[in-house]
Amino acid sequence: MTDTDLPLAGLRVLDFSQFLAGPVAALRLCDLGAEVIKIERPQGGDLCRSMVVNDQRLDQDSLVFHTFNRGKKSATADLKQPADLERVRGLIKTADVMIHNFRPGVMERIGLGYETVAELNSGLVYGAVSGYGTNGPWVGKPGQDLLVQSLSGIAWLNGNAEDGPVPTGFAMLDVATAGNLVQGILACLLRRGRTGTGGLVEVDLLTSAIDMTFEQFTCFLNDGQKPPRRHALGNANPYQPAPYGVYKTADGYLAFAMTPLATAAELLEAPELNAYAQDQAFSHLDEIKAIVAKVFLSNTTQHWLDVLEPAGIWCAEILDWPAFVKTDGYKAADLVQTIGTPNGESAQTTKCPIRIDGAAPTGTDVAPRLGADTADVFGAAE
């Protein structure tokens, strides 16, 4: 697949965002063929360039920065300087999409709020990312993934009953918010094809948090708003009845999904489970799960997979990453690509998760050096 075959080829995206949610959305548009230009501060650029994680760098910048800015261009502009701002305004006239994740009100003060920009380019799709929306007392809070997981209740869904709050070990809400932004942008681009007019797409981490937990939050809303009851052991979803959860085996761990109690009693050779009717699978879940946990601990993970999988039971070994990358499933999924610099530096990272016409778009370019494309970008706009 060539660049011109990709569905967004010919579209120009201006990415004013930094850190994660906005840049990940722009990355996905880039993966699908759009020209993405990062507009960065001349001094330091995107703060993520210097956010070194695990002491890993590539081509002078943080490796993490490259993972969600690969394949883009970089042009520098100081939006507080009238001359630079005017050049950016000229570039906006050539764009199809622009994305930012400044706090509400910042772009308006700069002079690049949606209403102002729409007058420059009526066909532009304008994407804005925030932490908590544009209204309410939390607008000024930092919109960071861990903080929003904490405020939204997500951290109290994970872990067992006796644990404290347990957030996810990755930036779940940033990635989910980026996906929501991409969906909104693509929808507005389709509408523009009919009407010729762009639009405003607004997403925020808090709304994405509640949207991601729609199943559990709906249960909460319709259960007298009682706190979710995390299971005493093996908690995987506080609203799923026993034996749903994760269990220790003699040599590892096993995930055990929805299974009728009578079936579990037979397959696990656990007649004690017959003391509980199916409609008691939630009201007596701790007692039931304690029985199941004792049985699973008596043999190996592979033994239980051999018992359960032929019977059509939904179950899986719980793998860590070193074990996962050794599996045939990992190899068949073809999840990784190598990005490289002209001077021979390289690193592995993930691929675009979308397949177009049977193939996943791949780009081998790293993220751009700060300002590498300034002359070309603004020269083309003038």
DSSP H or E run through 203: strand 199-204
Q: Answer yes or no: are the C-beta atoms of 51 and 155 closer than 8 Å.
A: no
- DSSP for 95-153? -SEEEE-PPTTHHHHHT--HHHHHHH-TT-EEEEEESS-SSSTTTTS---HHHHHHHTT
Q: Answer yes or no: are the C-beta atoms of 214 and 176 closer than 8 Å.
A: no
What CA–CA distance (Å, rounded) separates 234 from 313? Answer: 18
- Distant-in-sequence contacts of 59-65, Cβ < 8 A, 24+ apart: 59/341, 59/343, 59/345, 59/366, 59/367, 59/369, 60/369, 61/367, 61/369, 63/347, 65/367
Other CB atoms closer than 10 Å to residue 59's CB: what's the count?
A: 19
What CA–CA distance (Å, rounded) separates 75 from 91? Answer: 11
What CA–CA distance (Å, rounded) separates 306 from 249? Answer: 13
Q: Which residues contact 286 (CB under 8 A, 6 or more apart)?
A: 231, 232, 233, 242
Q: State yes or no: is 15 an active-site residue.
A: no
Q: Is 234 left (phi over 0), alpha (psi -120 to 50) or beta?
A: left
Q: What is the 3-state secondary structure (H, E, C) of 263-304?
A: HHHHHCCCHHHHHCCHHHCCCCHHHHHHHHHHHHCCCCHHHH
Estimate to the nearest angstrom the gap between the alpha carbon of 296 and the chain centroid: 33
Which entry of 46, 59, 145, 174 is annotated as an active-site residue?
Answer: 174
- The two beta strands, 97-100 and 125-130, are parallel
The residues carrying an active-site annotation are: 174
